[in-house]
Structure 1
Amino acid sequence: MLTGLVCTLPVTPAYAATTPAGWEAGALGLSSAQRLSQGEGVTVAVLDTGAVADHPALRGRVTTGPDYRKDGLDPQSPKWGVHGTAMASDVLKVAPKAKILSVRVLNDQDKEKINEGHLVQGGAGAIANGIYYAVDHGADVISMSLGSGAVGNYANEDDLAAVGYALSHGVPVLASAGNSGDKLNETSFPSGYAGVIAVAATDRSGARAAFSTVHTYNEVAAPGVDILSAKNTGGYKKVDGTSPAAALASGVVALMLSRNPNLTPAQTRAILTGTADHPQGGWNALVGYGQINATAAVKDAASPPADKTAPVKYQGKEHFATPVGTSKTTHPDMEQSLWLTGLGAAGVGLLLAVGGLLLVLGGRRKGNSGMAAMAPPSGPFGA
């Protein structure tokens, strides 16, 4: 695995203005990929905390959409666009001639509730509104370096419907897998939604980064450690997380779509997973189908596999909830008599267990009286 900077592409004005590339350039194979495409004609919607459009790495490439977070901050605030500016620059690092549509759906302070690069949702409906806006305003790719990632997390019907809207309009959706792999490893949305390409993070060795969430929804991986990214206040900083991994992956998709604008989301997914550097066995929950190979993906974009996805009639058994209108994502309240009965049974069981324990302890005390001076017993539980 190459870990150094091997990009030898002749410098163009667009590329020179982007964030300096690091080890991820060699890991993804950007040198050869950018000879084939640099993202011309492609718009990547970055749904995040906002992007500072006049940063040298972004200047002339960013269109700013609405602010669905609605927290009163503006682009002049140093608390505005910290994460989003970094992610936009990572997209352009891969696809320097692409355009960025920045839609603010998060507040940078939200991430403090979880960890760096793994953000919670902003206001109710912010992400769904951002997706709809992006699709309706020319986005070719949607990049979401964010996630809900809380214990007891659940799917959001509005967000899921918005993802479906994007896919049905031919717009691939990518999201970061989550940064809780070294903690509670919580399920994260939107990466967990069907149709979303979930991106895990790798380290310099090409293996899963220690923080990257391990889950069956992981499809591909990209570098996510020490990724030099633009700062909203100017300059650059190194960022860790599945956030930069998703942004870099979105840049690769921009390269693919620039080479073949007719790629469908299904074809995009098939090419990314088919050309990735597969782990042993072809797939695992750590890195999905493996780290993205940008050069192979861009080459295959020119002659993609046939898209055989289409609506089909369900041929299985009738589901008990159809057609009575019961929601597929919520559950009815449990009858009070049932849970009270269960609670009572649990209480009785707990009392019996405590009583048995007290009897055992009482017997041990009687048996041990007057024996304190004896040596401890031999065997596996002895001294």
Structure 2
Amino acid sequence: MLAVAVAVPVTCVPAFAAHSGRSAASGDDDPGATLLPPLPVRLGEGNPCTGPSDETATGVTWSQTALGLPRAQRISRGSGATVGVVDTGVAPDVPSLSGRVTALDGADEDCVGHGTFAAGLIAAAPEKGSGIAGVAPAAEIVALRGTDDRGVPSVEKVAEGIRTAADRGAQVIYVGYVLRTGRTELTAAVAHATERDALVVAPAAPDAVPKEELGPDNKMPEGPYWPAAVPEVLSVVDFGPSGVRQKNAPPAYEPDLSAPGSSMVSAGPQGSGHYIGSGASLAAAGVAGTAALVRAYQPDATAAEVTRRLLDTAYPADTPRADPFAALSVVSDKSEAAPAKPVPAHLPQPADPGPRTRSLVIAAAGLTLVLLVGGMAAVIPRGRARGWVPPGRSADDASAAPDGQR
């Protein structure tokens, strides 16, 4: 059975132009626009592998503009960062990824195309005649398979892919599918990656839900989803050009960030043509690319510090929106460094009171002497002038007094 390929019906993408040998499907209003083939989420039994696309998008997509990539990529292009892609595989011969893909354990064959598409959103370099580019167009890719060749994920494959990517030095690990089971195994795999300073990014909702996984009355599952529900994982949900999710999109479970994920354009598993797709997994690819930009620009930052930076600089919304330019350029008010220990104050020892006391005694004695001399200078001349006669008596009275009373 072929699952729904995208969360919304495939329509013309107004944010870019495409060319092909066929006439435009959108009519005379936009003769340069045409439908891109839809990206499958899974392949039914007996369905052929996804082939090359005959359509090439020539302009810049709405998602590139929404993420502010022209400004962000003037600061960092992801050179030196390695992103693990745990998905359906990544075709290493795709021109926009050529020379930058290391595929392990058979992950160089991508029958579905989802892993190659996601890797393009993360790290595709622009090609001549096309403006389509990934978030971190100079990053390296380590591809690992997390699904079978039909695109059905398994707990064991995803867990092993996360571990292997971390062991191979991936600084960011992208997981392209969600699982409703595997809490123990995937939590342990994420812990393994965290110990090796790798940041795991995963979708907080499935891109599409097969009929056999629907609940009673065709109710969609609501999570939790793994590995996104592991606390150390950066979980991501999608939004569209209008800034909101499609109403019929599967419910997301406690996402940390949101990013463009509707009407996304990227490479197919063969050739240089492009596909269109929608879903939370594609939004997670954009956040993984953003993390690669930051890790390349700040190579000494830990995975936890990069996570905090992405969250602190996100654009405010119901679910904060990833902002690559802000993550690279904004100086956060929240210091991630440990506070400096207070320096103890060193007060000088109290001075010896002896010299000060002696100085005060000497000064007081000097003042007393000055006052005494001043007083004598005023009294002696007057006494001499009066013949030392007390006030109120004349000199004649003094001479008439008996000798004993003078």
TM class by shorter-chain length? Answer: 0.5 to 0.7
CA distance in 2: counterparts of 1:21 and 1:301, whole angstroms = 29
2:280 maps to 1:248? no
2:168 maps to 1:137? yes
1:60 paired residue number: 99
2:209 maps to 1:154? no
The 8 Å contact of residues 179 and 211 in structure 1, kept in 2 or not, is answered as no
The CA deviation at 1:42 is 0.3
Query: What does the per-residue CA deviation read over 1:342-361, in whole Å, with 9 as the maximum and x for residues that have no partner?
Result: xxxxxxxxxxxxxxxxxxxx
CA distance in 2: counterparts of 1:211 and 1:221, whole angstroms = 17
The 8 Å contact of residues 47 and 144 in structure 1, kept in 2 or not, is answered as yes
2:140 paired residue number: 99
The 8 Å contact of residues 267 and 307 in structure 1, kept in 2 or not, is answered as no
The 8 Å contact of residues 267 and 305 in structure 1, kept in 2 or not, is answered as no
**Alpha carbons of structure 1 residues 133 and 214: separation in structure 2 relative to 1, 3 Å:** same
Tell me, what secondary structure is at the counterpart of 1:97? coil
2:222 paired residue number: 186
The CA deviation at 1:210 is 3.2
Residue among 311, 333, 336 paired with 1:306: 336
**Alpha carbons of structure 1 residues 245 and 20: separation in structure 2 relative to 1, 3 Å:** farther
TM-score w.r.t. structure 1 length?
0.63
Tell me the amino acid that sits aligned with residue 241 of structure 2.
Answer: R
2:190 paired residue number: 163
The CA deviation at 1:193 is 1.4
The CA deviation at 1:239 is 0.9
Residue among 78, 92, 117 paired with 1:86: 117
Tell me, what secondary structure is at the counterpart of 1:257? helix
2:321 maps to 1:291? yes
The CA deviation at 1:191 is 1.0
CA distance in 2: counterparts of 1:180 and 1:4, whole angstroms = 22
Larger-gyration structure (1/2): 2
CA distance in 2: counterparts of 1:273 and 1:125, whole angstroms = 30
Residue among 110, 132, 153 paired with 1:121: 153
The 8 Å contact of residues 223 and 245 in structure 1, kept in 2 or not, is answered as yes
The 8 Å contact of residues 111 and 150 in structure 2, kept in 1 or not, is answered as no
**Alpha carbons of structure 1 residues 21 and 60: separation in structure 2 relative to 1, 3 Å:** farther
Of the structure 1 ranges 211-220 and 228-237, higher mean CA displacement relative to structure 2 is found in: 211-220
Tell me, what secondary structure is at the counterpart of 1:94? coil
CA distance in 1: counterparts of 2:288 and 2:242, whole angstroms = 21
CA distance in 2: counterparts of 1:301 and 1:240, whole angstroms = 33
2:310 maps to 1:272? yes
Tell me, what secondary structure is at the counterpart of 1:66? coil
The 8 Å contact of residues 178 and 242 in structure 1, kept in 2 or not, is answered as yes
- RMSD over equivalenced CA pairs, Å: 2.8
CA distance in 2: counterparts of 1:275 and 1:133, whole angstroms = 30
Tell me the amino acid that sits aligned with residue 304 of structure 2.
Answer: A
TM-score w.r.t. structure 2 length?
0.60
Of the structure 1 ranges 299-308 and 188-197, higher mean CA displacement relative to structure 2 is found in: 299-308
Tell me the amino acid that sits aligned with residue 207 of structure 1.
Answer: V
CA distance in 2: counterparts of 1:44 and 1:29, whole angstroms = 21
Quick one: percent identity of the two aligned structures? Answer: 32
Q: Structure 1, unaligned stretches of length 5 or more?
A: 6-17, 69-73, 111-119, 309-383
CA distance in 2: counterparts of 1:104 and 1:173, whole angstroms = 16
**Alpha carbons of structure 1 residues 180 and 83: separation in structure 2 relative to 1, 3 Å:** closer
2:85 paired residue number: 46
**Alpha carbons of structure 1 residues 223 and 190: separation in structure 2 relative to 1, 3 Å:** same
Tell me, what secondary structure is at the counterpart of 2:74? helix
The 8 Å contact of residues 79 and 296 in structure 2, kept in 1 or not, is answered as yes
Query: What does the per-residue CA deviation read over 1:297-316, in whole Å, with 9 as the maximum and x for residues that have no partner?
Result: 112489984167xxxxxxxx
Residue among 221, 232, 239 paired with 2:258: 221
CA distance in 2: counterparts of 1:180 and 1:255, whole angstroms = 25
2:232 paired residue number: 195
Query: What does the per-residue CA deviation read over 1:283-328, in whole Å, with 9 as the maximum and x for residues that have no partner?
Result: x4xxx3x2211100112489984167xxxxxxxxxxxxxxxxxxxx
The 8 Å contact of residues 186 and 227 in structure 2, kept in 1 or not, is answered as yes
2:274 paired residue number: 236
Query: What does the per-residue CA deviation read over 1:196-251, in whole Å, with 9 as the maximum and x for residues that have no partner?
Result: 11110010022234355544520001111111111112211111111111111110
Tell me the amino acid that sits aligned with residue 297 of structure 1.
Answer: A
The 8 Å contact of residues 117 and 267 in structure 2, kept in 1 or not, is answered as yes
CA distance in 1: counterparts of 2:262 and 2:145, whole angstroms = 25
Question: How many residues in Structure 1 have an aligned counterpart in Structure 2?
Answer: 265
Tell me the amino acid that sits aligned with residue 202 of structure 1.
Answer: F
CA distance in 2: counterparts of 1:260 and 1:302, whole angstroms = 14
The 8 Å contact of residues 87 and 244 in structure 1, kept in 2 or not, is answered as yes
Tell me, what secondary structure is at the counterpart of 1:63? strand
